[in-house]
Chain A
Amino acid sequence: MRIMRKNYLFGSGGRWQRLTPIFLLLPGVLLYFLIALGPSIATSVYSFTDASGLKGAPVNWVGFDNYKEFLFQGMASRDNIAATLRTLQFSALVTFIQFTLGLIMAVVLNQNLRGRTFFRTLFFLPVILGVVIQGLMWKLFLLPRGGPMATIFGWLGIQSEFLGGLPSEAFMWVIVVQIWANVGITMVIFLSGMQTISEELYEAARIDGASNWQLFRHVTWPQLTPAINTNFLLNIVGSLQAWQLFYVLLGYKNGTQVLGYLVFAQGFGQTGSSTGFRQGFAAAASIVLFFLVLIIGFAANKVVSWREQRYM
């Protein structure tokens, strides 16, 4: 690495002085390679081994065995494939609902309403509280006997075990909490996008007699393209990788696992059975997740560029 003299202005002194920026840059960059980039790349290498989490334990090369086990071993692969499909289901539902709800919230709060700052702050708050608080708050809220949600359900004449019920039901509640926790950020991104739309466009459309729906359809929606694209991509990629709320709300419960949780549970012996740390297998699972994110992210990006061509 050499300093380009035309850009560096402080080195009138000796050679050492000119090297100062490099010395100061190195710690940061080395840390980055050591903790982030290196391990990230090494994940694919580990996925071909039978690495465990024990210090000094031998690590053997096993070729594609982990991938075979993940995908093509009949009964043994069944749970993994189910977790993969569930991840897609989770992501589709969360993305669709969070995107739509966040957009409606932003449209409503972009009006000149009294108390809108309060509502914005309130809906945004869970974003910064983190999964432990989000999760425990909802565990309490969803207590099957005497909890607030049970009371609301009681008014409607419904009985539910909520998180303790059937896996499919518990899974739905995690989706609810996931959206509750993150819709605030979607809303804020939409709102800051709406603030960049010029009021004159609305004025002109109103003079032409546009209805509220037409204003939204023909002014807000096209003009909001950057924020729409950001939220669309963020929601898809974020929900494919999200699993911490499953950990706090349910633990590793059969019939509710998603891929991200499977990686953690297999790699760090949290599956509840005594299989130990299966880090090679976990690495393979995280490569599967990576490709899932890559393919879906790529497809989503196509949609995004199509929209950009149409509206911008």
Chain B
Amino acid sequence: MTQKLNTLIGILTGGDSASARSRRLKVLSYLFLGILAVFYLWPLFMLIITSLKPLTEYLKDPAGLPTAPSLANFAEAWELANFPRYLLNSAYYTATATVIFIVSSLFVAFPIARDYFKGSNIILTLYVIALFLPPALIPQFQLILNMGLYNTRPGYILLFLINPIGMIIIVNYIKSIPRELDEAAAVDGAGYLRYVLTIVFPLIRPAIATVTVLHAIGIWNEVILPTIYLTNADLYPITRGLIVFQGVYGNNWPGIAAAVLMLMLPILILFMFLQRYIISGLTAGAVKG
């Protein structure tokens, strides 16, 4: 140990040759990453150990390791707060809204990308402008209320059927598909609908995957809109369910931690498989400037 420490000090204070400097840089880099990593791993670790111990043990020693890890909290949270229902609701909202959004955007994006109308660029501009306009929160609420869709599933889903950034990504990707392909398909007698669905759609799969993931994560994680629009507990998505659960079981952190992990699991699984698309979606267009 002392010897190691001495080597470390030697590296940090030692000579000024190029190799000593690069080793020093490396040690400092790992030191920096290590300290930072503590603040990313420890909250996660805390969440996991808390979820595995009984409430009584947690109250005595919140940060310690569980003496007899058990999954009882998960079962309890599962029953106490109707989490299966919340998870199903979340899945239903996310899937329905994403599918409708993707299909409807495809048919908006294609004519814009191909310049079918005189005003196609104006439509695209309107999508860009929306990114800079005031938030639509209040009038949106009045609209849903007056349509009689307040506190209903369709009303809630309606809020997630648009995504200007997603639309812009799809339009730009379609532009990269050569027009010759359209011509060839038209000559072969394909109709518009069939062409877009069976030929264009598979070709722009990377863009679709990116936008789908981006949009779906946004819906899954949304917590403000369910607070505004859904008062019936049967309609709660998991995020809202969790906030309410935390309000009711305030200090039962083992239960809350178990519930948080249940909300987290689907996102983590998705992240492992789709990391590439998630990152490209979140950084889309950022670097080209």
A45 to B143, CA, bound (A): 14
Query: Closest approach, in angstroms, between the C-beta of B17 and any C-beta of chain A?
Result: 14
Q: Are B139 and A38 in contact (CB under 8 A)?
A: yes
Per-residue 0/1 for A120-151: is the Cβ within 8 Å of any B Cβ (1 yes, 0 no)? Answer: 01111111111111001110110101111001
Total residues of chain A contacting the partner, CB 8 A? 102
Which of B7-15, B70-78, B114-122, B204-212 lies at the interface with chain A?
B114-122
Which of A24, A143, A234, A267 interacts with B62 by CB under 8 Å? A143
Q: Is B230 an interface residue when CB atoms closer than 8 A count as contact? A: no
A185 to B286, CA, bound (A): 11
Which of B105, B138, B158 interacts with A279 by CB under 8 Å? B138
Per-residue 0/1 for B148-161: is the Cβ within 8 Å of any A Cβ (1 yes, 0 no)? Answer: 00100000001101
Q: Is B233 an interface residue when CB atoms closer than 8 A count as contact? A: no
Q: Which residues of chain B are within 8 angstroms of A53 by Cβ–Cβ distance?
A: 141-142, 145
Is chain A's binding surface mostly helix, strand, loop or mixed?
A: helix
Q: Which residues of chain A are within 8 angstroms of B133 by Cβ–Cβ distance?
A: 37, 40-41, 43, 290
Per-residue 0/1 for A100-114: is the Cβ within 8 Å of any B Cβ (1 yes, 0 no)? Answer: 000011001101010
Q: Are B243 and A132 in contact (CB under 8 A)?
A: yes
Task: Known A28-B108, A124-B279, A146-B62; judge A46-B138 contact (CB<8 A).
Answer: yes
- Give the residue name and chain of the B residue nearest to A261 (CB): B224
Which of A7, A11, A39, A226 interacts with B287 by CB under 8 Å? A226
- Looking at B61, B141, B143, B243, the one whose CB has the most chain A CB atoms below 10 A away is B141
A8 to B196, CA, bound (A): 13
Q: Is A99 an interface residue when CB atoms closer than 8 A count as contact? A: no
Q: Are A268 and B228 in contact (CB under 8 A)?
A: yes
Q: Are B267 and A129 in contact (CB under 8 A)?
A: yes
Q: Which residues of chain A are within 8 angstroms of B26 by Cβ–Cβ distance?
A: 111, 113
- Give the residue name and chain of the B residue nearest to A229 (CB): B289
Query: Closest approach, in angstroms, between the C-beta of A148 and any C-beta of chain B?
Result: 5
Q: Are B135 and A286 in contact (CB under 8 A)?
A: yes
Q: Are B33 and A119 in contact (CB under 8 A)?
A: yes
Query: Closest approach, in angstroms, between the C-beta of A7 and any C-beta of chain B?
Result: 5
Q: Is B99 an interface residue when CB atoms closer than 8 A count as contact? A: no
Which of B46, B135, B239 interacts with A43 by CB under 8 Å? B135
Query: Closest approach, in angstroms, between the C-beta of A175 and any C-beta of chain B?
Result: 14
Q: What residues of chain A have their CB less than 8 Å away from a CB belonging to chain B? A: 1-4, 7-12, 17, 20-22, 24-25, 27-29, 31-32, 34-46, 51, 53, 55, 104-105, 108-109, 111, 113, 115, 119, 121-133, 136-138, 140-141, 143, 145-148, 151, 180, 185, 188-189, 192-193, 196, 212, 225-227, 229-231, 234, 241, 244, 247-248, 263-264, 267-268, 270, 279, 282-283, 286-287, 289-290, 294, 297
